[in-house]
Amino acid sequence: MKRIFFRNKFLPYLLIAPQMVVTIIFFLWPAGEAVLQSFQREDAFGLHTTWVGLANYRALFQDPAYIYSLQVTVVFTIGVTALALISALLLALAVDRTTKAGSTYTTLLVWPYAVAPAVVGVLWWFLFNPTIGLMPYLLSLVGYHWDHALKGDDAMILVIISAAWPQVSYNFLFFVAGLKSIPASMREAAAIDGAGPVKRFFTITLPLLSPTTFFLVVVNFVYAMFATFPVIDATTQGGPADATNILVYKVYQDGFVGLNLGSSAAQSVVLLAIVIVLTVIQFRFIERRIEY
Amino acid sequence: MVENRPILNILAHLVLILGVLVVAFPIYIAFIASTHGPTDFLSGLIPLTPGHDTWHTYMTMLTTGMQTSGMPPLSLQMMNSLIMALTIAIGKISISIISAYAIVYFRFPFRNLAFWLIFITLMLPVEVRILPTYKVVADLGMLDTYAGLTIPLIASATATFLFRQVFLTIPDELMEAARIDGAGPMKFFWDILLPMSRNNIAALFVILFIYGWNQYLWPLLITTDASHYTIVMGIKRMADVADSQPQWNYIMATAILAMLPPVLVVIFMQKLFVKGLIETEK
């Protein structure tokens, strides 16, 4: 907020109106409708709606399919976050060591971020295709029969790799920026005191990187839980037997394919609650990062 | 680098080279697949060296498309993607910069309420409120239109916050000087604020262009008519041929064309891209 400001009665409303109109029509109204619908039940023809209170939510959390989807989401989210963060950190540490070629490597490593998740899904789906793909062929040489259309674990590995691949670039850029902001004098002092590279990493680099890491964990959680819809849709479509049916995909399936409005709305509201919690955590953390 | 350890240096280069290879590998395989004729896939394994059908495959896809699955030519789909990406990027920047201007430089009733309403949009990704939003767009008769494709994605809390941040760092003296010289609010905005935020606008544009081009779920729901297909969603419709082997060479050519524009933007505007990425997350 500024100390001084323009005095004008109508102009500020005019300036803020477009944003407000779009927000209200396409964000608040639908979200409100989802909340209302989650307390209602519609009959098969969509003629009558009755208020059912928390029945939709109760049904949801007693539904084994939903509980299973929750578990799948947890495994998937942790898998994507761990894979994307650890590989990005390794690459960032390596770039931090190279003196001359660093920027060339960076260019070669960041562009997957620009590839659409749906296209990423198609690429990995092709590589792992059981009839023609290269990876199943290589795996068969070591005696493993890959088939993500039948084996749930194979499908989970496929979606985790596909979803983590573009996210590595993103995490990499933030880790490189984080490493640059650690004063060289600290690491030099530790080296003079006799700490080797491994000890320096665990006692100095990693603790000083923790704000970046924490921020990235939250961002990766949000990415894995909400932005990976295209990856799932292009690779496994939630299958086989719901083994990769994460919450976001289930909302779409139950709502658009199954047309179960009440349940889909209740699922939307649960997801909304998760997003809000994650956003609040992220914002509280940013307050702290400034004083760090 | 703290001290010279040749083994660690070699290790670092090895890790990086491995990383670059893992990143490039799927794209390489996709490109190779797109250069082969359809019969080359019958042997049961993806070819690893380039074929001779490149020109034919890409020209067919760009000019006629895949008629068997009702796909329009890719040139049309890429045009739709471009329209969508540009409209979303320019739209988001325009409405965000003026609302940030209103919030920072004016006092008016409901100012805080407006700020919080914008803040809430940050928490509602499309994927979460998909069904009710679809219903609103359908009720407004915006299915199969460019307006339906773009306007619901145009509100942006992130961009508004970014511009608010930028405006707050601009010294008050500038505005005082402008006022003393007799400039009104709109003149101040056009002649001083806009030129001063040029860099931020460019960085944000790069990020939003990629965001718009890569949209998948929204165009998938909104477009039923082939003339409004975008390339990123079209690729999925191509891969979904029931019960028959997909036409790999055409699908991979589409994948390459779908990723080319945003990847080129990142490579050639890397500085702006990194700036945009890191700033929008602050």
Number of domains comprising chain B = 1
In the three-class reduction of DSSP (H, G, I as helix; E, B as strand; rest coil), residue B47 is classed as coil
In a domain, B1, yes or no: no
pLDDT for A292: 34
In a domain, B168, yes or no: yes
Rounded to whole angstroms, what are the CA distances from A148 to A130, A155, A157, A236, B255? 8, 4, 9, 8, 21
pLDDT for B122: 67
Chain A residues with beta carbon closer than 8 angstroms to that of B172: 2-4
User: What does the domain layout of chain A look like in residue ranges?
Assistant: 58-291
Rounded to whole angstroms, what are the CA distances from A210 to A30, A89, A285? 38, 12, 11
Q: Does A174 touch chain B (CB under 8 A)?
A: yes
Confidence check: pLDDT of B245 > 50? yes
In a domain, B134, yes or no: yes
Over residues A125-146, the mean pLDDT reads 85
pLDDT digits (tens, 9 = 90+) for A197-221: 888 888 888 888 888 888 899 889 9
Over residues A104-114, the mean pLDDT reads 87
Chain A residues with beta carbon closer than 8 angstroms to that of B216: 116-118, 229-230, 233
pLDDT band at A69 (very low <50, low <70, confident <90, very high): very high
C-alpha A92: how far from chain center: 20
- Which residue from B minimizes the CA distance to A103? B270
- Which residue from A minimizes the CA distance to B237? A234
Radius of gyration of chain B (CA): 24
In a domain, B190, yes or no: yes
Q: Enter the ipTM.
A: 0.86
pLDDT digits (tens, 9 = 90+) for B270-281: 888 888 887 776
Chain A residues with beta carbon closer than 8 angstroms to that of B255: 119, 122-123
Among the residues of chain A, which ranges form H helices?
11-23, 29-37, 55-62, 64-97, 102-110, 117-127, 134-141, 152-180, 184-192, 197-200, 206-222, 229-235, 247-252, 261-291
In a domain, B89, yes or no: yes
Q: Residue B135's beta-bridge partner residues?
A: none
pLDDT band at A3 (very low <50, low <70, confident <90, very high): low
Chain B residues with beta carbon closer than 8 angstroms to that of A116: 213-214, 216, 232, 258-259, 262
* Residue B122: domain span: 6-280
Q: Is B213 in contact with A116 (CB distance < 8 Å)?
A: yes
- Which residue from A minimizes the CA distance to B282? A286
More confident residue, A187 or B47: A187
Distance to chain A for B281, nearest Cα, Å: 9
pLDDT for A50: 79
Q: Is B207 in contact with B277 (CB distance < 8 Å)?
A: yes
pLDDT for A188: 84
Over residues B74-88, the mean pLDDT reads 91
Over residues A123-144, the mean pLDDT reads 85
CATH of the domain at B253: 1.10.3720.10
pLDDT band at A289 (very low <50, low <70, confident <90, very high): very low
More confident residue, A240 or A282: A240
Q: Residue A42's beta-bridge partner residues?
A: A49
pLDDT digits (tens, 9 = 90+) for A248-272: 898 888 887 777 777 888 888 888 8
Contact between chains at B124 and A275 (C-beta distance less than 8 A)? yes
pLDDT band at B88 (very low <50, low <70, confident <90, very high): very high
pLDDT more than 90, % of chain B: 15
pLDDT band at B6 (very low <50, low <70, confident <90, very high): confident
pLDDT for A269: 86
Q: Does A252 touch chain B (CB under 8 A)?
A: yes
Nearest neighbour of B175 by CB, restricted to A4, A91, A115: A4
Class of domain A58-291: mainly alpha
Chain A residues with beta carbon closer than 8 angstroms to that of B27: 123
Q: Which helix (H) or strand (E) holds A51?
A: strand A49-51
Chain B residues with beta carbon closer than 8 angstroms to that of A186: none
Q: Does A37 touch chain B (CB under 8 A)?
A: yes
Contact between chains at B120 and A113 (C-beta distance less than 8 A)? no
pLDDT for A290: 38
- Which residue from A minimizes the CA distance to B134? A30
- What are the structure tokens assigned to A40, written together? 């209602």
